[in-house]
A and B are shown apart, each in its own frame.
Chain A
Amino acid sequence: MEYVIMFISAIFVNNIVLSQFLGVCPFLGVSKRVDTALGMSAAVTFVVALATLVTYLLQGLLVKLHIEFMQTVSFILVIAGLVQMVEIILKKISPSLYQALGIFLPLITTNCIVLGVAIQVVTNEYSFINNVGAANPNMMNLPQAVVFAVATAIGYSVALILFAGIREQLELSNVPKVFKGVPIALITAGILALAFMGFSGLV
Chain B
Amino acid sequence: MISDGIIKNNPTFVLVLGMCPTLGTTTSAINGMGMGLATTFVLILSNIVISSVAKIIPDKVRIPSYIVIIASFVTILQLLFQAYLPSLYETLGLFIPLIVVNCIVLGRAEAFANKHSVCDSALDGIGTGLGFTIALTVLGCVRELLGSGSFFGLKLIEGDGMLAFILAPGAFIALAYLMVIFRKVTGKKA
Binding site for B on A (CB under 8 A): 18-25, 27-29, 69-73, 76-77, 80-81, 109-112, 114-116, 119-120, 178-179, 181-187, 189-191, 193-194, 196-197
Question: Are B17 and A25 in contact, with the CB atoms below 8 A?
Answer: yes
Chain A nearest CB: distance from B110 CB in Å? 11
Question: Are B175 and A186 in contact, with the CB atoms below 8 A?
Answer: yes
Closest 3 A-B residue pairs measured CB to CB? Answer: A190-B172, A186-B176, A21-B24
Please, how many residues of chain B have a CB less than 8 angstroms from a CB on the other chain? Answer: 42
* In the complex, chain B residues 63-100 whose Cβ is within 8 Å of any chain A Cβ: 63-64, 67-68, 71-72, 74-75, 78-79, 94, 97-98, 100
Looking across the interface, which residue of chain A has its beta carbon closest to that of B13?
A: A182
B157 at the interface (CB under 8 A from A): no
Set of chain B residues within 8 Å of A189, measured between Cβ atoms: 172
Question: Are A186 and B71 in contact, with the CB atoms below 8 A?
Answer: no
**Would A73 and B72 be within 8 Å (CB), given that A116-B98, A182-B179 are in contact?**
yes
- Told that A71-B75, A72-B78 touch, could you supply 5 new A-B pairs with CB distance under 8 A? A19-B168, A21-B23, A28-B19, A70-B75, A191-B173
A112, B94: Cα distance in complex, Å: 10
Set of chain B residues within 8 Å of A109, measured between Cβ atoms: 101
Question: Are B180 and A178 in contact, with the CB atoms below 8 A?
Answer: yes
10 pairs from A and B in contact (CB 8 Å cutoff):
A22-B98, A25-B16, A71-B75, A72-B71, A80-B63, A178-B183, A179-B176, A182-B179, A190-B176, A197-B167
* In the complex, chain B residues 1-59 whose Cβ is within 8 Å of any chain A Cβ: 16-21, 23-24
A-B contact count, CB below 8 Å? 121
**Would A120 and B100 be within 8 Å (CB), given that A25-B17, A28-B19, A197-B167 are in contact?**
no
B177 at the interface (CB under 8 A from A): yes
Binding site for A on B (CB under 8 A): 16-21, 23-24, 63-64, 67-68, 71-72, 74-75, 78-79, 94, 97-98, 100-101, 103, 106, 164, 167-173, 175-177, 179-180, 183-184, 189-190
A28, B78: Cα distance in complex, Å: 28
Looking across the interface, which residue of chain B has its beta carbon closest to that of A194?
A: B169
A71, B71: Cα distance in complex, Å: 10
Set of chain A residues within 8 Å of B169, measured between Cβ atoms: 190-191, 193-194, 197
* Consensus secondary structure, chain A interface: helix
Chain A nearest CB: distance from B6 CB in Å? 19
Set of chain B residues within 8 Å of A19, measured between Cβ atoms: 167-168
Looking across the interface, which residue of chain B has its beta carbon closest to that of A20?
A: B24
**Would A182 and B190 be within 8 Å (CB), given that A21-B20, A191-B169 are in contact?**
yes
A113, B97: Cα distance in complex, Å: 12
Set of chain B residues within 8 Å of A81, measured between Cβ atoms: 64
Partner of A77, one of B19, B67, B103, B180: B67
Output the residue of A72, A73, A81, A110 with the most chain B CB within 10 A.
A72
Chain B nearest CB: distance from A99 CB in Å? 22
Set of chain B residues within 8 Å of A190, measured between Cβ atoms: 168-173, 176
Looking across the interface, which residue of chain A has its beta carbon closest to that of B70?
A: A76
A67, B106: Cα distance in complex, Å: 25
